Structure 1
Amino acid sequence: MNILSAYREFISSPAQLAQCRQATSVEQLLQQLKLLWRQEALTDDQLVGELALCNQQLHDVDVATLSGHWLPYCYQAKSRSIRWCLPSGHATEPFHDQYIERCRGQLLNQLITPKTSVTPLIAGQVASAPLQPAGFIFHLSRCGSTLVSGCLAELDNTCVLSESPLLTELLLDDSLDEKTKQHLLPQFIHLQSVTSPGRHNIIIKWNAWDIFFWPLIRSLYPQVPVLFLVRNPVEILASHQRSAGRHMAGDQSMMVIKPIHDAANAASLDGFREKVLQSLLGSMYHAKNSDDVVTLDYSSLTLNKILELADYFQLHVDDNSRSGMAARMTFHSKFPGQTFQPDDRHKRDFYRSHQFPMPNTELLTLYRNVVYSDTLSLAEIY
C-alpha cells in the first residue's frame, strides 16, 4: 500500500486512530504508523516528510467517515477546503480558536492534519441530519457574551461554539452564493458539534460582525431562541482603542461586508469604528422584534440573569453546574486566570480622559432604542 492510500485509510479508521492516539512520543507514533502502513524501511525524517506532503493534498474521502472523529476547524475560501484535527474533550476555553489550539497541541494532530474539499458537501453529500441549536448569542459587548457562553459551557449537556472560525469564514466567502452558504452552514455546525457526544444542546456565540448575516442565519433557524447582548457604545469604542477587534482594525477580509466596506471612507480610524458600530447596532435594532429574540445590556449581567438565559434556552442547570457558573463569574471572561474587576466606569473615564471624539447622537440614540427604549438620557450614556 502506498503512503497516500494508507493515509486516507488511516484518517477514516476509528480503530487506527484510537491505537495511534495512545502514543506518548513522536518516535513511538512514527513507529506505529510505519507498522500500520508497512513502511518500516522509512526513516523517521522520511515519514515526517511524507506526512507533510499528505497534509497538503485534498483528500477525496466521505465526510461521514470523518464525522464525530475529526473536528473541522478551518475553512479556506481560496481553495474551498476544510482543515481537520482530532478533538480534545469538551471546549471550555473562552474562544473556539483557543480550543482548537489545545487540540492541535496533541501529538497526533502535530503530524496529521487532513484537508478535504468542500465540493462534495456542496454537491449534496450530507454528513448527517443536523441538530437544531438550543440558542444563538449575537453581541456587541466586549467580554459580556464571553462570560455568558463560558457559564453555559459549564453545563454537562451543552456544546458551546464560541466565535467559531470555521463558521465565520464560510459566511465571509463572497465567492459562494447565499443558497450554497445556506446548504453548508448547518453541516458545518453539525460537524463541529458532533465531536462532543452527549452534549446535544448547541449554543453558538457568533462573532460580532456575523449579525450582518442575520437574514441568512435566521432563514435557516427561525425557531432558535436568540440573545442580543449589547453594551454602552462609549465602553465598546474605548475597548477597541486598547485592543481592536478584526472588524474594527481595517482588516481587508472584512471588506466583503458592505457596511464595513462603506465605513472605510471615514476620515479617521475613530470615525470608521463609529460607523461600523452604528451599522452593527442598526442590524440588531431591525432584527430585535423578531420572534424569540431577547435583548440584554452588559450592565445587567448577574448570575441570576444568566440562569434566566439558561432557562430561556431550555437548558437544565443542576447544583454542580450552578456552582461552576458562580465560580466562573469571579474570573475575567477572556483571561480565566485573572480575577474579574468591573471596568465599565473605567472604560468611560479612559475614553473621556484621552479626549476621543464623543460618539454621535444617532449612535447613542440607536443604542438606547435597542435596549432601553426612551428610559435613558443620552447624557447618562456618555
Structure 2
Amino acid sequence: MSSIKKPKKLFPKHTTVEEHPTTVCYKLPAVVFKYPFFNEGIQAYRMKGHAITNETLDAIDIIPNRQIELKGFIFHTSHCGSTLLVRMLQTTSHIRVISETEAINGLLLSYVLHNLPKETVQKQLKKIIESYCQPLGDEKHVIFKLTSWNVFMIDVFLELYPTTKWMYLDRKTDEVVASLKKSDGGFAQWWQQPTDILKRYFTGEGYHYTTKEAYLIHMVKLHRKQAQLHTNSHTLHTNYHTLLDDFIKIIAHFELNLSDQEIENAKKTTAFYSKSMSKTPYSIS
C-alpha cells in the first residue's frame, strides 16, 4: 500500500547573512511545526529522504483574506522555559508555533552586521511572518517564539504589529547565567568569536567586560531592560518559576481558546524534556 502524501506549502527556511539577505524557502508539510525548534523539524524531514527544492521568498504569494490568524510573539531571556511553553502550545492541533526560525535570525543578523535600513528589514520580515501564516492542516492560529536576543530588535516587530499581543518570559539573572555557563549556547557563544562586532552591538560601545560571567550577567539584564522599555497594554510579563501556574493567563492573553482537556494535555508535557521529540522523562540531575 502506498503512503498518502501529506499536503505541503512553501515556507521560509533560513535567511542568508549578507548585505542583500536572501530568504530561502522549502515546500514543507505541517508536521515540521511540531518540533521544539522549527529548523529542527526541517532537518528531521530531510533526514527521512524527502526531496527539497530551494525557492526564495518571492515565490510565495500571500493571500490576505486566507491567512491564519497571528496571535502574538513570545520574547524571552535565555534558558527560561520558553521551549517548554512552545511544547505545551503545540499539543493542540489548532495552534502553529514558529520556534526560533533561522529565517528571522538570519535577517536580523544581517540588519546588525551590515547596518541595513530598518524599513528594508521590516519589509522582508513582514513577508516572512505572513508566509508562516499560510493555511495548512488544521491550524487556525500562529504564535512566534523568537530567539532570546531578538528582544534587542523588538521595536522592529512592534512597529510592524503595534496592536499584536506579546509576552516576555524572564528568569532570575544568576540562574540564567549558571545555566548558560553549563551549555555555552546562544549568545554565550559570542564570547568565543574572534571579533567583537556582535558583543559590542548588544552590550553597547561603552561597556567594558573583563570576564565571560560579567558579559553574561550584563546581557541577561539588557534582555530584561529591552522588554521593560517596550512594555505596553499588549504585553504580559511572566517568569520561569510561575510558568505553569500562569499558563491559563498566557493563553487568555493571546486570546486562545483551549478546552479543559487541551489544557490538561498541555500540562502533561512538563513530565518530559521539552527540547526532545522523544518522550524522555524529565529529571533534575
With the shorter chain as reference, the TM-score category is 0.7 to 0.9
Counterpart position of 1:108: 50
Change (3 A) 1:275 1:143: closer
Q: For residues 23-57 of structure 1, what are the alpha-carbon distances to aligned partners after superposition, in whole Å with 9 as ceiling and x for unaligned?
A: xxxxxxxxxxxxxxxxxxxxxxxxxxxxxxxxxxx
- CA deviation after TM superposition for structure 1 residue 341, in Å: 3.5
1:114 and 1:301 map into 2 onto residues whose CA distance is: 38
Q: Within the alignment, does 1:95 sit opposite 2:37 as a pair? A: yes
Q: Within the alignment, does 1:295 sit opposite 2:237 as a pair? A: yes
- CA deviation after TM superposition for structure 1 residue 308, in Å: 2.3
Change (3 A) 1:126 1:257: farther
- Given that residues 94 and 150 in structure 1 are in contact (C-alpha distance below 8 angstroms), is that contact kept between their aligned partners in structure 2? yes
Counterpart position of 1:279: 222
Q: Within the alignment, does 1:128 sit opposite 2:63 as a pair? A: yes
1:263 and 1:75 map into 2 onto residues whose CA distance is: 30
Change (3 A) 1:284 1:258: same
- CA deviation after TM superposition for structure 1 residue 265, in Å: 4.1
**Match of 1:301, as an amino acid?**
L
**Match of 2:62, as an amino acid?**
A
1:233 and 1:255 map into 2 onto residues whose CA distance is: 21
2:200 and 2:136 map into 1 onto residues whose CA distance is: 32
**Match of 2:35, as an amino acid?**
E
Change (3 A) 1:126 1:196: closer
- Larger strand proportion of the pair: 2
| Equivalent residue runs for 1:1-382 within 5 Å | 69-78=9-18, 80-90=21-31, 91-109=33-51, 112-116=52-56, 120=58, 127-129=62-64, 133-174=70-111, 175=114, 176-194=116-134, 196-250=136-190, 251=193, 255=198, 258-260=201-203, 262=205, 265-288=208-231, 290-302=232-244, 304-336=245-277, 337-341=279-283
- CA deviation after TM superposition for structure 1 residue 319, in Å: 4.0
In structure 2, the residue corresponding to 1:222 is in which secondary structure? coil
In structure 2, the residue corresponding to 1:71 is in which secondary structure? strand
In structure 2, the residue corresponding to 1:70 is in which secondary structure? strand
- Given that residues 254 and 261 in structure 1 are in contact (C-alpha distance below 8 angstroms), is that contact kept between their aligned partners in structure 2? no
- Given that residues 36 and 275 in structure 2 are in contact (C-alpha distance below 8 angstroms), is that contact kept between their aligned partners in structure 1? yes
1:170 and 1:239 map into 2 onto residues whose CA distance is: 27
- Given that residues 238 and 246 in structure 2 are in contact (C-alpha distance below 8 angstroms), is that contact kept between their aligned partners in structure 1? no
- Given that residues 138 and 228 in structure 1 are in contact (C-alpha distance below 8 angstroms), is that contact kept between their aligned partners in structure 2? yes
In structure 2, the residue corresponding to 1:161 is in which secondary structure? strand
- CA deviation after TM superposition for structure 1 residue 260, in Å: 3.9
Change (3 A) 1:257 1:217: farther
> Structure 1: any 5+ residue segments left out of the alignment?
1-18, 23-67, 344-382
Counterpart position of 1:364: none
Instruction: Count matched residues.
Output: 271
In structure 2, the residue corresponding to 1:341 is in which secondary structure? coil
Change (3 A) 1:291 1:131: farther
1:324 and 1:244 map into 2 onto residues whose CA distance is: 32
- CA deviation after TM superposition for structure 1 residue 255, in Å: 1.0
- CA deviation after TM superposition for structure 1 residue 126, in Å: 5.9
- Given that residues 75 and 151 in structure 2 are in contact (C-alpha distance below 8 angstroms), is that contact kept between their aligned partners in structure 1? yes
Change (3 A) 1:259 1:141: closer
Change (3 A) 1:190 1:106: farther
- Given that residues 100 and 145 in structure 2 are in contact (C-alpha distance below 8 angstroms), is that contact kept between their aligned partners in structure 1? yes
- CA deviation after TM superposition for structure 1 residue 279, in Å: 1.5
Q: For residues 244-271 of structure 1, what are the alpha-carbon distances to aligned partners after superposition, in whole Å with 9 as ceiling and x for unaligned?
A: 2331221569718722464884112122
**Match of 1:97, as an amino acid?**
N
2:48 and 2:276 map into 1 onto residues whose CA distance is: 22
**Match of 1:170, as an amino acid?**
L
- CA deviation after TM superposition for structure 1 residue 198, in Å: 3.4
- CA deviation after TM superposition for structure 1 residue 87, in Å: 1.6
**Match of 2:162, as an amino acid?**
P
1:157 and 1:187 map into 2 onto residues whose CA distance is: 22
Output the aligned Cα RMSD.
2.9
Counterpart position of 1:12: none
Percent identity of equivalent pairs: 20
In structure 2, the residue corresponding to 1:127 is in which secondary structure? coil
Per the normalisation by structure 1, the TM-score is 0.64
